[in-house]
Amino acid sequence: MKIPPVKGTRDFYPPEMAVRNFIVDGWKKVSLRNGFEEYDGPIFEYLKMFQIKSGDEIVEQLFSLTDRGGRDLALRPEITPTLARMVNQRINALPRPIKWFSVPRLFRAERPQKGRLREFFQWNIDIIGTDDVLADAEIIFTTIDYLRQVGLTSEDVKVKMSSRRLLAAVLRTIGICDAALEPLYALLDKKTKLPEGTFRALLAQQVPDSEVAEKIEAFMDVKKISQIKNVVGLDDDVDAAVDELAMVHRFLREDMEVGEYCKFDPSIVRGLAYYTGVVFEVHAQEGELRAICGGGRYDNLLCDLGGPSISATGMGMGDCVLEILLRKKGLVEKELQRQGLDFFVACVPGITFDDQDGLVKSTSEDEVVRLTTQLRKKGLCADFSYRSVSLGKQLKQASERNAGTCIIIGEEFKDDKIAVKDMTTGEQELLGYEEFLSNLGIGREEK
């Protein structure tokens, strides 16, 4: 009986592994060049840690277990609580600001659907220990830096930005009490996903005062940061939050030169309760894909998990939605076409009899192995066929392995010549063996 993979998980055969490496290697490269250091933690943690961050209802969304010692554990659904725990453990020894990144394997016990699986990889970047809005801008810039690297333009994706601090100030100003804020956040976070009539009906249930509800809708429809004060009126808390968000936009637009990717969108609320300041999500401009990534400022999490009160901001990007978008844009296929062997070394079989060993073998095949070894020693990707097959079949293998160049060795080439075939253009030339080696910086004595 064949056993299939568990629903919501993936097998990574070599082609799928190449895509995964393309995504993950890109995340790591961008993180490092923007000054982030890599970290990781255990694949399971105490269940309580996730309950503190997200509430008791999170248990239904986790793969949880009780170990032999009676401890309640869970496979990590995210890594931010682990980050907070690790920082809290060494808070006095870590230089600030702390700029860390991680690419963990995560697990969520939920119904698999397009762009959302039970097992996935996620890129996390975080800056801890500074309340400067420049840190918020840098998190967003680093996110955009990766999107640009893989070929996604401002026509493909947009960073939609808002502020939890701003939303709270606006709601308080128009008469919403603190106790009603969290339930209202959850509804406003769903505004773009609900039919207009459904949203208004649900809003009326939470906000019976029609004038207040109209002000909330008016704010949610604002297109520019500069228009907020016209809708809400004068208020010190609103003004401070507006200025903070405007400064982040200024950094991104003027200093970091990525303004074309960014737009203000008050409907970006982020469902998690721990966000405290600037929040953002990246969305594809076309189609019905869920957010590619999201993040924002969370200044209370380390304190909630037993540490001191320290400012923090960060972002998480999963690989599932990202891969769907990259494939849709043809960017995965374009990248994979660039991957493959540098050289495939083939031979025209020439059979000789070795009296000493009593073995029938090809002297050309021996030379194939020697040359391939020298190419590999130079850091080049090279391979050959294990089977003694026709040259045509070897060329087919070279094509299947996406080799850039095929080197053909054979006794039919006189004067110590080899054929060098460009697998892209099909052009082929004869070169002296010594000439070919010297062009690669390989001396004959190395052979």
Same domain assignment for residues 364 and 324: no
Tell which of 308, 335, 362 closes a domain.
335
Same domain assignment for residues 386 and 243: no
Residue 222, domain member (yes or no):
yes
Same domain assignment for residues 299 and 359: no
How far does CA 402 lie from the centroid of its chain? 26
Domain span at 252: 14-335
Q: What is the distance between the alpha carbons of residues 291 and 93, in angstroms, rounded to a whole number?
A: 36
Same domain assignment for residues 210 and 248: yes
DSSP H stretches of helix in 207-330: 210-220, 228-232, 236-250, 301-304, 319-328
Q: What is the distance between the alpha carbons of residues 332 and 380, in angstroms, rounded to a whole number?
A: 23
Same domain assignment for residues 242 and 309: yes
CB atoms within 10 A of CB 56: 10
Residue 80, domain member (yes or no):
yes
Residue 8, domain member (yes or no):
no
Digit-coded pLDDT (tens) for 16-37: 999 999 999 999 999 999 999 9
Burial of 127 (0-12, 13-18, 19+ CB in 10 A): buried
Phi, psi of 314 (to 5 degrees): -165, 180
Same domain assignment for residues 348 and 301: no
Same domain assignment for residues 254 and 372: no
Tell which of 335, 359, 379 closes a domain.
335
Same domain assignment for residues 285 and 137: yes
Q: What is the distance between the alpha carbons of residues 249 and 225, in angstroms, rounded to a whole number?
A: 9
Same domain assignment for residues 135 and 189: yes
Residue 411, domain member (yes or no):
yes
SS3 letters for 34-88?
Answer: CCCEECCCCCEEEHHHHHHHHCHHHHHHCCEEECCCCCEEEECCCCHHHHHHHHH
> CATH number of the domain that 100 lies in?
3.30.930.10
DSSP H stretches of helix in 34-64: 47-54
Tell which of 305, 335, 365 closes a domain.
335
Same domain assignment for residues 368 and 294: no
Overall number of domains in the chain: 2
Residue 2, domain member (yes or no):
no
pLDDT at residue 271, as a whole number: 66
Residue 370, domain member (yes or no):
yes
Same domain assignment for residues 264 and 152: yes
What single-letter amino acid sits at 32?
L
Same domain assignment for residues 232 and 347: no
125: left (phi over 0), alpha (psi -120 to 50) or beta: beta
pLDDT at residue 339, as a whole number: 79
pLDDT at residue 445, as a whole number: 45
> CATH number of the domain that 396 lies in?
3.40.50.800
Residue 3, domain member (yes or no):
no
Kindly give the confidence (pLDDT) of every residue in the chain, 447 residues in length, as a single tens digit, with 9 standing for 90 and above. Answer: 899 999 999 999 999 999 999 999 999 999 999 999 999 999 999 999 998 887 777 888 899 999 999 999 999 999 999 999 999 999 999 999 999 999 999 999 989 999 899 999 999 999 999 999 999 999 999 999 999 999 999 999 999 999 999 999 999 998 898 888 888 988 998 888 889 899 999 999 999 999 999 999 999 999 999 888 888 877 899 999 999 999 999 999 999 999 999 999 998 988 666 789 999 999 999 878 889 999 999 998 889 888 899 999 999 999 999 999 999 999 998 777 777 899 999 998 765 545 455 544 456 778 899 899 989 988 999 999 998 888 999 999 999 999 999 999 986 676 778 999 999 999 999 998 888 888 876 654 444
